[in-house]
Structure 1
Amino acid sequence: MRERQQLPVLGQPQPERADAARNRQKIVDCAARMIAERGAEQLSLDEVARAACVGVGTVYRRFGDRAGLIYALIDERERHFQAAFLNGPPPLGPGAGPEERIAAFLRGLVDHVFGQEELFLLLEKSSPKARFTGPYAVYHTHLSALLARARPTAEARFLADALLAPASAGLIHFQRTERGLTVEQIKDGLDDLVRIVWRGSGLR
C-alpha cells in the first residue's frame, strides 16, 4: 500500500523512512495524550520526548519547535478541511460564485478553528512566522485567488488578510468568553462582513 503523502502546508519533510514514521507517530500520540491530560499550554518538547522515550534531539530535528509539533497535531483535520474547500462540493468547493465560496469558507474555518481551539490558540502564540505560515498561508492564497477573480483591480492580498483576521482563534475565543457570542453568531457576523466587502467594493 502506498504511503499517504502529507500536505505541503504542514511543512513536514517527506518521504519518511518507516522507522522515522513510527517515531513521528509515537511523538504525536504522546503530545496529544499530554494535551488531553494537562492542556495545550503545558506542552513542552522536552517532556514529550521523555514520554515518547525518544531523544530530545530527535523531537527537535523532526518538528523544529513547538509550532511544528502543533502543525503535526492538527494535520489530519487540516487535510480534510483543505480537501473540502479546494476540491469538495459547492459552495465551499468549486462550482459556486466567489462571494458564496468566501462566505462558506469563513464559516467552515470558524468551525475548523473552534474544533481545535486550544491548539490554534497555542499556534497563534508562537512566533509571527509560525502564525502566518502553514495553514494560514494556504487560506490566504485561496481567498486571494477568489477575490482576484472577482475584482482584478482590488488588492486581493490585503482583503484576504482582512477577512481572515476575524476568524483567528484568539478573537473567536474572546468573542465567545467575553462577548458571550455563540459560534453561530460569529459565523453570521462573518457573513455580514463578506456582504459589506462585496457591496463596498462594487462587486455586485
Structure 2
Amino acid sequence: RSRAAACFADLRSVDEMIRQVRDTADPDTADPDGEQAPATATGGARTPLDAQLDLVAQCVEAGVSTRAFSVSLGGFDTHADEKQLQAVLLGQLDRALTGFADRMGRTEAGRKVVVAVYSEFGRRVRANASDGTDHGTASDVLLLGAGVRGGWHGAAPSLTDLDDGDLKFTTDFRDVYATVLERVLDTDPGPILADWRGRLDQLF
C-alpha cells in the first residue's frame, strides 16, 4: 500500500509538471484542441527538446520513482538539403543536452543520470540528387553523464568498405544496450536481450 501510494503521488506530480510544460510550450506546436501531438515514428515529439528535458530534470530532482525517460527530436529524415538542416538540428540537440547535463551535474541524483542518444535509422553514405541522404543502416550512439567514460568506443566505420552503399557497423547496439541496462539500471539484460553476452565494460 505504501509503494502504491508513493507511485500515485509521483503520477500526480508528473501530471502537474506536464501541464506546466504544455502551458509554457510554443502555442504554434499545439493541435487545435490544445493538446500536444505525440511523437511519431520519424517526426519526433512536437514539444521542444529543451522543454522535454526540463520535465525530466524536474522528475529527477523531485525523486520520482520512474527510472527511464524517453524524449525525442524529429526532423532528421533528411532526404534533401541535409547539410543546412543537420547544422540546425544538431545545434538544437547540443544546446538542449548541454543545459540538461549542466543541471544534472548539480545534484547527487542528477550525477547518476545517463543519457543515451540514438536514431531509429542511419543514413546512406552517398548524397542523393536533392543534396540529402536516404535511409541507411549503421549509425552513432552517444552517451552522456557524469559516470560515462568519454571518448570514442569501438572502431570508426569505413567510408569505402561499404555494404551495398551502407556503412558496416563495428559495434553491436546490443552491446551498448546491455551495458547500460546492467551498469546504469542494475538490471539483468538476459530476459530483455535473449541472454545477449556482449558488453562494453569501458563505457563506465
**TM-score of the aligned structures, taking structure 2 as reference length:** 0.29
Ranked by relative contact order (alpha carbons within 8 Å, sequence separation 6 or more), the top structure is 1
Higher helix share: 1
